[in-house]
């Protein structure tokens, strides 16, 4: 039914009744989407329904992805319990890095160009999504390491390398405009770190337990965050 079809009034009906208005009012009620509790909470916290909607549509926060993350970490916890090797600590940074790379970007978001013309900036969307993915992965990882019965040093030791891996994945994804490149960079960077630490110290857990690595991890994280910020900078204004 088109607007032209609806711009008439029934014989005998009050002449000031605009049936088109009535119809769109009814349609608005019928088609109205009721936001879920997570979206309502996010809208309240972020003070922006648009940002909240963008958050709940994050590819790496969709149910399937979250379930996959939990399955991988649960498998890691089970393997840790049976073998004694802290697999959760080794898996968690890689899983989080993949999630961050898939948080947002031109390679992921089919409406990237359109999103760049929105009042809610794509950079703000990226920031909120990245923080949410990081927080969810950190919580899931902590729960999994606690369940695996790992030592305290291992339980928290992977949080700093996870930050560095996430920043590396995000920087690679935003610079290359490809989430897959971000995933590859994060995972290969972490694999190289784990293997080289093992070669140097003879321990699989060295990458997450050696205190000497904390500063290099933080430097990598800060550098990669700066690169991501530069890659997603708002275009400069009109030259004067």
Partner 1 sequence: MNVEIANLTRRFGRNQAVAGVDLEAGPGVLGLLGPNGAGKTSLLRIMATVIPPSSGTMRLLGRDPGVHEPRREIRRRLGYLPQALGYYPGFTVVEFVEYFALLKDMPSARVPAAVAEAVERVDLGAKAKAKLRTLSGGMLRRVGIAQAIVNNPELLLLDEPTAGLDPEQRVQFRALLRDLGQHATVVVSTHLVEDVGAACTEVALMDAGRVVFRGTPADLAALGTDRDTGDAPLERGYTAALARARAGSAGSRS
Is residue 236 at the binding interface for partner 1, with CB under 8 A as the rule? yes
CA distance readout (Å), 102 to 17, 88, 202, 212, 238: 50, 21, 33, 30, 32
For the window 34-73, what string marks contact with partner 1 as x by the rule CB under 8 A? ---------x----xxx--xx--x----------------
Shortest distance (Å) from residue 185 CB to partner 1? 24
Between residues 33 and 211, which has the closer beta carbon with respect to partner 1?
33
Binding segment toward partner 1, per CB under 8 A, in 20-28, 81-89, 94-102, 147-155: 20-28
Q: If binding means CB under 8 A, how many residues of this protein chain bind partner 1?
A: 41
> Of residues 111-170, which lie at the interface with partner 1 (CB under 8 A)?
111-121
Residues that bind partner 1 (CB under 8 A): 1-3, 6, 20, 23-25, 27-29, 31-33, 43, 48-50, 53-54, 57, 109-121, 234-240
């Amino acid at each position: 039914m088109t607007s032209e079809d609806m711009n008439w009034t029934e014989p005998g009906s009050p002449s000031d009744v605009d049936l088109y208005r009535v119809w769109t009012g009814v349609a608005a009620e019928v088609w109205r989407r009721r936001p879920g509790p997570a979206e309502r909470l996010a809208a309240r916290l972020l003070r922006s329904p648009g940002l909240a909607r963008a958050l709940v549509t994050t590819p790496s926060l969709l149910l399937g992805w979250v379930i996959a993350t939990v399955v991988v970490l649960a498998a890691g916890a089970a393997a840790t319990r049976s073998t004694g090797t802290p697999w959760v600590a080794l898996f968690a940074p890689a899983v989080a890095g993949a999630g961050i790379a898939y948080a947002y970007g031109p390679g992921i978001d089919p409406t990237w160009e359109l999103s760049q013309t929105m009042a809610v900036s794509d950079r703000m969307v990226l920031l909120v999504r990245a923080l949410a993915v990081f927080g969810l992965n950190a919580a899931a990882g902590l729960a999994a390491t606690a369940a695996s019965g790992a030592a305290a040093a291992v339980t928290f030791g992977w949080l700093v390398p996870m930050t560095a891996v996430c920043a590396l994945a995000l920087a690679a994804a935003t610079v290359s405009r490809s989430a897959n490149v971000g995933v590859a960079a994060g995972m290969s960077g972490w694999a190289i770190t784990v293997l080289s630490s093992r070669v140097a110290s003879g321990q699989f857990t060295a990458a997450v337990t050696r205190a000497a690595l904390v500063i290099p991890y933080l430097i990598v994280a800060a550098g990669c965050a700066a690169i991501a910020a530069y890659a997603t900078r708002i275009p400069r204004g009109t030259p004067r």
